[in-house]
């Protein structure tokens, strides 16, 4: 059994075409960070042409109504998870340590099945995919003046495990509307582009829709191993000191090593972090943590080696490992972004101001957090 679900991929492209053809449905699609580094590979586009803005144009041609960026909700995740981390630090003795990231469903399934006693250590923040879906059906429905039931929320993910994450009974709002109705992998969206005979080379770049199309460089690097940790530290530093660190201050957690560790000083507090990718490395780290050989405050785990850039839903090239090349694309985008801190994302700030209230507030708990104990691993897993 493959914990990231890559061996039993289901094709959802026909269901997607049906939803687009249904005039009653408003299709709202989000593009995950790692997808932008890989979608053009299978369409023969050179990397400099395979921009996310060209993918936006292709999605509009297919007929999606609103095209948004998961980097928006990656920034929202950082706001929630960053505050959660600082809250746990403040009440240090009331929580199990380390705190683990929770955005990779392959990892969440792994800990629940292999180390169930440590499920408590997971952040309660939903993943960016799920936060985005919750935002689309509540705040965005309100902005559109639309009935949430008419919104068909779709994601393009580098990941097959995201399909089962979207179907978890806990990933919905109070009205039981599913946050994300359908998940397409990068390979599936490539198939749809081909089926529609869209000549991507000739497309002009187009902008994302507003306001959920605004993301920062910190959100973009979520797609590479170490990116979530780096984005979280950039904002945690600000939340504690009220000053931005140098944007690259936490670059020590970058790179393709399967297990990285570092200690950073945040306002006199030493914060010990680790970043692992790949489940063999994860198991080694878990054994070290359990036996007390290693001790950390915050750990990022990604099930796929190299993180989502190397995810099971990305184009596959026999014998070629492209995670590192794709990660370079994401770090390059972060470097030139005008916004490199999640806490400076104007659309995220606006969403708090006009809808969610403050981070970790009541509405946030209801819509943006989850209870990892509230579902059981299926018996066959």
Residue numbers of the site for ligand SF4 (CB under 6 A)?
4, 104-106, 158-159, 161-162, 302-304, 307-308, 311
CB of 52 to ligand SF4, least distance (A): 17
State residue 315 phi and psi, 5-degree precision. -55, 140
Decide whether 236 or 302 has the Cβ nearer to ligand SF4: 302
Ranked by CB distance to ligand SF4, the top (closest) residue is 311
Instruction: For residue 194, count other CB atoms closer than 10 A to its CB.
Output: 12
Decide whether 32 or 339 has the Cβ nearer to ligand SF4: 32
CB of 236 to ligand SF4, least distance (A): 22
Report d(CA 130, CA 136) in Å as an integer: 10
CB of 351 to ligand SF4, least distance (A): 23
Task: Name residue 264's beta-bridge partners.
Answer: 271
Helix (H) or strand (E) holding 299: strand 298-302
CB of 106 to ligand SF4, least distance (A): 3
CB of 249 to ligand SF4, least distance (A): 25
Cα-Cα-Cα-Cα torsion 301, 302, 303, 304, nearest 10 degrees, comes to -150
Decide whether 213 or 226 has the Cβ nearer to ligand SF4: 226
Decide whether 273 or 301 has the Cβ nearer to ligand SF4: 301
Report d(CA 188, CA 59) in Å as an integer: 12
Name the token pair of 14: 């026909």
Report d(CA 158, CA 33) in Å as an integer: 9
Strand pairing of 99-100 and 269-277? unpaired
Decide whether 267 or 280 has the Cβ nearer to ligand SF4: 280
Across the beta sheet with 269-277, the strand order is: 99-100, 298-302, 269-277, 259-266
CB of 129 to ligand SF4, least distance (A): 8
Strand pairing of 99-100 and 298-302? parallel
Instruction: For residue 284, count other CB atoms closer than 10 A to its CB.
Output: 15
Task: Name residue 113's beta-bridge partners.
Answer: none
Nearest to 51 by CA among 215, 200, 158: 200
CB of 307 to ligand SF4, least distance (A): 5
CB of 244 to ligand SF4, least distance (A): 28
Decide whether 215 or 307 has the Cβ nearer to ligand SF4: 307
Report d(CA 224, CA 305) in Å as an integer: 10
DSSP 358: S
Reduce the DSSP state of residue 120 to 3 states and report it.
Answer: helix
Report d(CA 373, CA 304) in Å as an integer: 23
Decide whether 218 or 304 has the Cβ nearer to ligand SF4: 304
Decide whether 231 or 304 has the Cβ nearer to ligand SF4: 304
Decide whether 141 or 183 has the Cβ nearer to ligand SF4: 183
Q: Whole-angstrom distance between the N-terminal and C-terminal Cα of the chain?
A: 7
CB of 346 to ligand SF4, least distance (A): 27
């Amino acid at each position: 059994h493959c914990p990231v679900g890559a061996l039993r991929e289901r094709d959802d492209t026909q269901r997607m075409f049906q939803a687009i053809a249904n005039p009653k449905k408003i299709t709202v699609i989000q593009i995950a960070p790692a997808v932008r580094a890989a979608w053009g590979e299978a369409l023969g586009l050179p990397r400099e042409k395979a921009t996310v803005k060209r993918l936006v144009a292709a999605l509009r041609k297919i007929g999606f109504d609103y095209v948004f960026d998961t980097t928006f909700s990656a920034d929202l995740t950082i706001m929630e998870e960053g505050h959660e981390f600082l809250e746990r630090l403040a009440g240090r003795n009331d929580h199990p340590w380390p705190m683990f990231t929770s955005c990779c469903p392959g990892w969440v399934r792994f800990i629940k099945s292999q180390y169930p006693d440590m499920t408590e250590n997971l952040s309660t923040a939903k993943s960016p995919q799920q936060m985005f879906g919750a935002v689309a059906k509540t705040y965005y429905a309100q902005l559109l003046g639309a009935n949430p039931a008419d919104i068909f929320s779709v994601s393009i993910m580098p990941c097959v495990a995201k399909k089962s994450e979207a179907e978890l009974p806990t990933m919905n709002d109070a009205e039981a509307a599913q946050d994300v109705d359908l998940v397409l992998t990068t390979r599936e969206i490539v198939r749809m582009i081909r089926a529609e005979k869209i000549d991507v080379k000739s497309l002009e770049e187009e902008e994302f829709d507003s306001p959920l199309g605004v993301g920062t460089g910190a959100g973009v690097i979520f797609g590479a191993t170490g990116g979530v940790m780096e984005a979280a530290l950039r904002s945690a530093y600000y939340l504690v000191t009220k000053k931005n660190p140098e944007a690259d201050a936490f670059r020590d957690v970058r790179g393709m090593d399967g297990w990285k560790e570092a200690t950073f000083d945040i306002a006199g507090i030493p914060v010990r972090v680790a970043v692992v990718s790949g489940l063999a490395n994860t198991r080694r780290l878990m054994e070290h943590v359990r036996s007390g050989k290693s001790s950390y405050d915050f750990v990022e785990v990604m099930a796929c080696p190299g993180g989502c850039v190397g995810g099971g839903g990305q184009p596959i090239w026999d014998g070629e490992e492209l995670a590192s090349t794709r990660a370079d694309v994401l770090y390059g985008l972060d470097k030139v972004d005008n916004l490199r801190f999640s806490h400076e994302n104007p659309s995220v700030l606006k969403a708090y101001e006009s809808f969610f209230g403050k981070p970790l507030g009541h509405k946030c708990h209801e819509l943006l957090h989850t209870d990892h104990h509230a579902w059981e691993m299926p018996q066959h897993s």
